[in-house]
Amino acid sequence: MRFYIITIFFLIFGLNFGCAQRFGYIDTDFILNKMPEYKKAQEEINQLSQAWEKEIQEMSKKRDEMYSAFQAEQVLLTETMKKERTEALQKKETELKEYQKKVFGFGGLFFLKKQELIKPIQDKVWDAVDKVCKENSLAIMFDKAGELVMIYTDPRYDYTDFVLDQLGLGDPNDKIKN
């Protein structure tokens, strides 16, 4: 964390002591939540996630039922039958873990679908941020929704409304701009 603060300090103040760097900040969470296409994408992602969770729960339930049946019948089974049932249980467990990884693991279906739906929306926001930065001659734009902790922010440097205007989502009654 200290490294990031030092890096930001040098970006703002240290690279060119002769001319001040103009900077601003935005709140991407606020911007994204104002975008109807983002809300729609989030709803689709949530529905898919719930459907996949339900499938995993059903697979888990079947595995648990197999295990319960095995436990109940274990005393009546021959060694060969016990071995077969144990292998079947292990196979079910492996299938379940593989499916969970396929869906929710890194690079899994959930990750890919989320990227497919959200990336175009984020690109739209980044394009708007780029335009706002160029129009306002800003050298640096921070995101207060990100991991960078901003202890204090002066509203004069908040460009969130400008980005919303650029996206066509601004409040027409908002008369106060920097």
- Considering its fold, how many domains does the chain have in total? 2
158 DSSP assignment: B
Rounded Cα–Cα distance for residues 33 and 43 (Å): 12
**Total residues belonging to the chain:** 178
Q: Please say whether the beta carbons of 153 and 144 come within 8 A.
A: yes
Q: CATH no. for residue 33?
A: 3.30.910
Report if pTM > 0.75.
no
Do residues 81 and 124 share a domain? Answer: no
Q: Which two tokens stand for residue 168?
A: 């066509």
Do residues 45 and 104 share a domain? Answer: yes
Do residues 32 and 46 share a domain? Answer: no
Q: Which two tokens stand for residue 162?
A: 């400008």
**What is the per-residue pLDDT for 175?**
59
* Better pLDDT: 149 or 131: 131
- Name the domain boundary from 71, 90, 112: 112
Do residues 95 and 150 share a domain? Answer: no
Give 24's pLDDT tier (boundaries 50, 70, 90): confident
Do residues 30 and 95 share a domain? Answer: no
Highest mean pLDDT among 86-95, 122-131, 134-143: 86-95
Report CA-CA distances (Å) from 42 to 18, 38, 121. 46, 6, 11
Across the chain, mean pLDDT equals 85
Do residues 126 and 150 share a domain? Answer: yes
Rounded Cα–Cα distance for residues 105 and 103 (Å): 6
**What is the per-residue pLDDT for 153?**
64
Contacts of 121 (CB under 8 A, 6+ apart): 32, 35, 37, 38, 41
Segments forming the whole domain that contains residue 32: 2-37+119-166
Do residues 95 and 69 share a domain? Answer: yes
The model's pLDDT over 30-89, given as tens digits with 9 standing for 90+, comes to 999 999 999 999 999 999 999 999 999 999 999 999 999 999 998 998 999 999 999 999
Do residues 30 and 43 share a domain? Answer: no
- 177 lies in a domain? no
Helix axes 79-104, 36-73, angle to 10 degrees: 170
**Residue 176: pLDDT over 60:** no
What type of residue is 74?
A: Q
Do residues 33 and 63 share a domain? Answer: no
Do residues 84 and 126 share a domain? Answer: no
Helix axes 36-73, 109-135, angle to 10 degrees: 160
